[in-house]
Chains A and B, each alone.
Chain A
């Protein structure tokens, strides 16, 4: 790894927007879920575990999508210099992609770990129960797959801005992950039905719930009255994997097309 890897990791992790939107803001909602929304949850292990798993699925996707928005911004910032450094330094295009991907995925995993640790501590304090995931390796695998997906989405969006020569859309497009993350966060109140399989953000939230609680996730509306439709976990994981592979292929295609774009057509945010 070159010095780009460590500096990129440090830069993204210390960006104020990441610290605020992905950590502080979501931690506020962790406290709300624990001390305000959770007042009527009985101190019964099964009920608490189900509640904590739902909170983990919803709040972690919110935090990770805010991180993805920061990563998209960081990539847009670098876009003018990427063309030069990949031509005349030892950071070749493939090496750049690998180092950028590894540093971004590491950031997403660190943010997940912060969310994980804080939720265990806060909910333990609130309910007096240590709620640990039912399937830790499964939860880690789902987190890793989600991190790869969110990186692929962030780079796809930033490359799209460059290739479409649409710098004015940068602020809007970089926020797409956060907007979709908020939609997935609404799933305890809204039954998304088939969309729960199509939206990768809902898939992430459902997989987190599944591996944390050990139960089958539902398509949505868990806090609402009425029958619930159980989700097929394999199908959910397959949908997220398909999205990830598709976006990675699109990234490669866009990266090739980016070569024809002059740096004067790219904006630094």
Chain B
């Protein structure tokens, strides 16, 4: 279980926080949905203790993340930068991380074969020589193959085609552990009904709600009564409601659209209500 208490994160000497007052408990498979630049990746970096925390604390299985060292199998991520310990061929990188984490090399190869990354690529290329889609696939496969208790997946579906996305979903659904996955894409909601979802806008985390509640949910750029969730985007109240809203969550390709409309202010509301 990962527990986040009153977390605030800012980069460098900047006073403006990237994450604000984040409180959450991740004790089952969860989605973190939010537009690009909302702070999802920063949240993941903070969850594994890779970024400096200005305020608050993060506990992983009751241990303060700042004080964790050499806890094999506790957490794994798919960030390319943390999987770049050595500039070796992917084949060697898989065996290196399998050795360091006690992971399963064969599992990583199986996932990669399903995601269309063949043996030849694994033997001949280094991480920085891969295409964006191959890079995501390799990092996600290494992260899953560690069989860690908690796996943080940062935009694992980015640059994957629909067939490969659905194959990856199978692995995520079958995974025996806590996966926390962040994405700006909403189509996932249909495939991961029994997960929980958080929303992240402008460094603030909202939720959780059950993913199945989101299937019929709609966004409204007004303050609605009895919402599933109420969020603030650019100083404007945005409600996620079961009935009455104008923008079905599943009709959006990306949550970037909600953000764009909220930034439009009153005009965003007009655009939304002008839609059939």
Binding site for B on A (CB under 8 A): 2-4, 7-8, 10-11, 77-78, 80-93, 95, 165, 259-265, 268
Q: B85: which of A78, A165, A260, A263 is its contact (CB, 8 Å)?
A: A78
Interface contact B86-A88, CB-CB below 8 Å: no
Interface contact B45-A11, CB-CB below 8 Å: no
Interface contact A261-B52, CB-CB below 8 Å: yes
CB-CB nearest in chain B for A266 = B81
Residues of chain B within 8 A of A8, CB atoms compared: 86
Interface contact A81-B85, CB-CB below 8 Å: yes
Residues of chain A within 8 A of B92, CB atoms compared: 7
Interface contact A88-B68, CB-CB below 8 Å: yes
Residues of chain B within 8 A of A80, CB atoms compared: 81-82, 84
CB-CB under 8 A for A263 and B82, given A87-B49, A89-B72: yes
CB-CB under 8 A for A263 and B50, given A78-B85, A90-B100: yes
Residues of chain B within 8 A of A84, CB atoms compared: 48, 50, 77, 79, 82
Interface contact B87-A77, CB-CB below 8 Å: yes
| B76 CB within 8 Å of chain A | yes
CB-CB under 8 A for A87 and B85, given A3-B96, A263-B45: no
Chain B positions 4 through 22: 1 when the CB is less than 8 Å from some CB of chain A, otherwise 0: 0000000110000000000
Least Cβ–Cβ distance between A94 and chain B, in angstroms: 9
| B101 CB within 8 Å of chain A | yes
* Contact sample, A vs B, 15 pairs, CB 8 Å cutoff: A3-B95, A4-B86, A4-B99, A11-B86, A81-B82, A87-B68, A88-B73, A88-B76, A89-B97, A261-B52, A262-B11, A262-B51, A263-B45, A263-B50, A268-B81
Residues of chain B within 8 A of A165, CB atoms compared: 12
| B200 CB within 8 Å of chain A | no
CB-CB under 8 A for A77 and B51, given A92-B70, A165-B12: no
Interface contact A87-B48, CB-CB below 8 Å: yes
Interface contact B51-A263, CB-CB below 8 Å: yes
Within 8 A of A (CB), among B38-76: 45, 48-52, 66, 68-76
Q: In the complex, how many residues of chain B place their beta carbon closer than 8 angstroms to a beta carbon of chain A? A: 37
Give Cα distance in the complex from A261 to B59, angstroms: 19
CB-CB under 8 A for A264 and B72, given A3-B95, A7-B96, A80-B81: no
Interface contact B70-A82, CB-CB below 8 Å: no
Least Cβ–Cβ distance between B145 and chain A, in angstroms: 13
CB-CB nearest in chain B for A11 = B86
Residues of chain A within 8 A of B45, CB atoms compared: 262-264
Top 3 closest A-B pairs, CB basis? A92-B70, A89-B100, A84-B82
Give Cα distance in the complex from A231 to B11, angstroms: 52
Least Cβ–Cβ distance between A164 and chain B, in angstroms: 13
Give Cα distance in the complex from A11 to B87, angstroms: 7
Interface contact A85-B74, CB-CB below 8 Å: no
Give Cα distance in the complex from A111 to B92, angstroms: 24
Q: B48: which of A88, A91, A95, A261 is its contact (CB, 8 Å)?
A: A88
CB-CB nearest in chain B for A10 = B88
| B83 CB within 8 Å of chain A | yes
Residues of chain A within 8 A of B82, CB atoms compared: 80-81, 83-85, 263
Interface contact A93-B69, CB-CB below 8 Å: yes
CB-CB nearest in chain B for A3 = B99
CB-CB nearest in chain A for B74 = A88
Residues of chain A within 8 A of B96, CB atoms compared: 3-4, 7
Residues of chain B within 8 A of A259, CB atoms compared: 66
CB-CB under 8 A for A264 and B70, given A80-B84, A81-B83, A88-B148: no
| B102 CB within 8 Å of chain A | yes
Residues of chain B within 8 A of A89, CB atoms compared: 70, 72, 97, 100-101
Interface contact A81-B81, CB-CB below 8 Å: yes
Interface contact A11-B102, CB-CB below 8 Å: no
Give Cα distance in the complex from A8 to B52, angstroms: 28
Residues of chain B within 8 A of A263, CB atoms compared: 45, 50-51, 81-82
Give Cα distance in the complex from A2 to B81, angstroms: 21
Within 8 A of A (CB), among B129-174: 148
Least Cβ–Cβ distance between A90 and chain B, in angstroms: 5
CB-CB nearest in chain B for A87 = B68
Known: A87-B48, A88-B148, A91-B70; 4 extra A-B contacts, CB below 8 A, are A77-B84, A84-B50, A88-B75, A90-B102
Give Cα distance in the complex from A3 to B95, angstroms: 8
CB-CB under 8 A for A4 and B85, given A89-B101, A264-B45: yes
